[in-house]
Each structure stands twice: as C-alpha cells, then as structure tokens.
Amino acid sequence: MSTAFPATTRGGSPRVVVVGGGVLGISTAAHLARAGARVDLVTEASIASGASGRSLSWLNSAGARSDAYHRLRTVGIDRYRTFAVRTGLHDRVRFDGGLTWAGPGESHRERHAHELSTGYDSVWLAPDEVAAWAPGVDVTAVAEEGAVFNPGEGWVDLPLLVEALLEQVRAAGGEVHTGVGRARPVVSGDRVSGVETASGRTFGTDAVVWATGARVPRDLAALGVELPDASPVALLLETQRIDHPLRAVLNTPRVAIRPTPHGTFVLDSAWSEEEVVVRGEGDYAVAASTVDGLLAEASRVLAGNPRLEVTRRGVGPKPIPGDGEPVAGEVPGVAGLHVLFTHSGATLGLVLGEFTAREVLGERVPLLEPFRPDRFAATTR
C-alpha cells in the first residue's frame, strides 16, 4: 500500500494529527514538527495523564528477548544519551546503572551469561561487592548467589521529559489540544482523512499517529483491526523526599525502585500489581495492606532501612501487546493511519517517535519491520 500523501498536499507541508499525550505521541509530534509537518497533538485529558505519568521508566534491554527487540531497545537507550547531552537535561535522564538479583529458588546466572553473549554490559557481583557499584543498597537483602549490575542502564523522569518535548512541539509551530475527550479516526475509503473528538472538534489531516496507550486495541477494533492485548492494571507509588545515596534502578524479587529528580523514590512490583482490584473502567481499589507492603519491601532493600511514606500513587493500565513486542507502523487497509502500542514506552519513547515520524513522512525504517501491525493474522479490515 502506498503511504504517499494525497495530491492536494504535495509540494506543501503535510498535515498530521497525533492522538495521545504520553511520551510516544509527544515524541512523534516533536520529530514531525521539527521536520516541517503541520502538527496537531490531540489528547483526551491532560499531558502525561496516562501510563507516562505512572511509569517506573527504567531505561534498559536487560534479560532475554528477540534480537530485533533487543536491537531496538539499545538504539532507544542511545537516543537518550544523545538527548541528555544536547539538551543539558541531565536531571531528567540519568545513567547510574541497574541492579537486580534473583528470588528464592531462582538464579540470574543464565541471564548474566545471555547478556554477555549479546554484548550487553553486565557485571556479576558478590553481595559484598554491591555497595561499591550501587551505593544505597542494603547488602544483607541481596541474594546469596550475588547480583547482576548493568552499568549502561538508567532512568528517565517521563513527565519532565514530556514537558521538554512539548516545548519543542510548540517551538516548531505545532498545536496542542488537551482535554478534548476520546477521539476516533475518520476513514474515507481506504485512507484516514481526519480525527473526531468527543468534544465535537474535528481535525482534517493527511496522516494520523495513534498513540493512546492501553486503549489502542479498543480504539482500532472499531475499524475492524484486532491487536492482541495483554495490558494489566499496574500500581506505582511515589515516596516523600528522602536524603539517600541510591542512584541506580533496583529490580529485586519483591520491589523495583527508581530515584527521581525530586529526591523521592518511585516503586512498583508484580505482586502489588496483582492485588489491584478493578471495579470498572477507570475505577480501581488498592488495599492499604498492598501500599504498606510495597513500602516495607522497599525499605528492606535500601541502606539504613528508612521509613517511607507515600505522597502520590498512580493506578491504571500498563500498555503491553499480546506477544510482548512493540506494535509500530501503518495500519493494514487504512493508508496514513500509523499506530504505536508498546511496553517499555520509556526506553522506546524517543526512538519510536523518531522512526514513526520518518515513516509518516514517507520513509520506510528497516528496524520497524518486525513490529508492524500486519504481523497479526487478524488485522485485516
């Protein structure tokens, strides 16, 4: 299928509507606007009010995954290094490494060996070596077999990153429309022609980028496009400000911890995610025991075992495609409609925005070939 723009816009700047106010949508909008496209960024509520506002935001490609996905993630990390240097926003993007160890009855030896085999920077540490590589960890909590430290990993504060990208969108002439309610693509024949919003606002366009997080499968189902969805409801806690030496990201058997530019920590875990009660769309219940348990697990692995208190919590869907790998590219049967739906939106935020912008403007990006939506048999309209 041709991705060329309609004849009426050739010779001028293409009009592009980006739907979604998280890191993927705003990164794409920034790249498009800088490339000269006329961009309208449209979001249901406020900026970063979805998954980007409650993400652990660990920048990594740790563990085992497909070669293509690993390659994309490592390119994504590289883009953050460049971004931090060029913008000077080192408070929003940090590379102080990541530390992980296995739970009882498990081992991370194979993980470490796999990472070494792919060239991923991976160091095996005995418990008494941890403090030198990752200050701020209570080494008595580390597994007896030891831990894996990945020096090249880091973290990003997505709300602050999104704020910086939004400035770039506006500086390049892009228009930002928040609080317009849910949107739907308008399709004429086999081509997208616009976006309609619940507020009644309609945007005519030459191309659309759909980046509505965990809502992507439902939004596209209305067009007869089916994308497998494995998005769970996740919980993220943010603690009070605390003077503590931890700078690396911790991924331990019972809690993951990331520092923030504000001097706080954000926390999540698989077990606390499973304890969230979904009462309806957008209606979630979190037991006090879940919150207290997550705080206790965090305190246990931090040096000094500090008393932690919650200042903010975020609950909502965490976007994960059914096969675990990104969905990125033009929607089959709908020319000009591009989709972004992925786990690890933080790690991939800058690179998927860049690659999607290039594809919207007519280029085919080889690194996206394994991740196109037409890999699923049920995507035909």
List, as one string, the DSSP characters of 198-239. TTS-EEE-SEEEE--GGGHHHHHHTTT----B-PPEEEEEEE
Q: Which long-range contacts (CB under 8 A, 24 or more apart) does 6-13 make?
A: 6/191, 6/206, 9/206, 13/37, 13/38
- List CB contacts of 75: < 8 A, sequence separation 6 or more: 351, 367
Q: Please give the Cα distance from 199 to 372 (Å, whole number).
A: 31
Contact (CB, 8 A) for 125 and 53: no
Rg value, the chain, Cα? 21
User: How far from the centroid of its chain's Cα atoms is residue 291's Cα?
Assistant: 23
Contact (CB, 8 A) for 197 and 180: yes
Q: What sign for the dihedral angle of Cα 187, 204, 366, 215? A: negative
The residue written with tokens 């996740």 in the block is: 234
Domains, the chain, with CATH or none: 7-52+159-228+322-379 (3.50.50.60), 98-151+232-317 (3.30.9.10)
Contact (CB, 8 A) for 249 and 99: yes
Q: Residue-wise pLDDT tens for the chain (381 aa)?
A: 333 333 333 346 999 999 999 999 999 999 999 999 999 999 999 999 999 999 999 999 999 999 999 999 999 999 999 999 999 999 999 999 999 999 999 999 999 999 999 999 999 999 999 999 999 999 999 999 999 999 999 999 999 999 999 999 999 999 999 999 999 999 999 999 999 999 999 999 999 999 999 999 999 999 999 999 999 999 999 999 999 999 999 999 999 999 999 999 999 999 999 999 999 989 999 999 999 999 999 999 999 999 999 999 999 999 999 999 999 999 999 999 999 999 999 999 999 999 999 999 999 999 999 999 999 965 445
Query: Which SS3 state, helix, strand or coil, does residue 81 take?
Result: helix
